[in-house]
Amino acid sequence: MMSWIRQGNPTDEPGGLLDQVYSAAKTRAGDVAEILKVMSLRPDLLQSFMQFYVQLMKGPGALTTAEREWIAVLTSEANNCHY
- With 90 as the cut, is the pLDDT of residue 83 above it? no
Write the pLDDT tens digit of every residue in 21-73.
999 999 989 999 988 999 999 999 999 999 999 999 999 999 999 999 999 99
Interatomic CA distance for residues 19 and 21, integer angstroms:
6
Question: Could you tell me if 68 and 56 are in contact, meaning their C-beta atoms sit under 8 angstroms apart?
Answer: yes
Question: Could you tell me if 40 and 49 are in contact, meaning their C-beta atoms sit under 8 angstroms apart?
Answer: no
Hey, how many other C-beta atoms are within 10 angstroms of the C-beta on 46? 21
Residue 77: HSE in the Cβ half-sphere, 13 Å Cα cutoff: 6
Domain ranges of the chain: 10-78
pTM, two decimal places: 0.77
Once rounded to an integer, what is the mean pLDDT over residues 8-18?
Answer: 92
Torsion angle of the four alpha carbons 27, 41, 9, 72, in this order, in degrees rounded to the nearest 10: 30
What is the Cα 58 distance to its own chain's centre?
A: 13
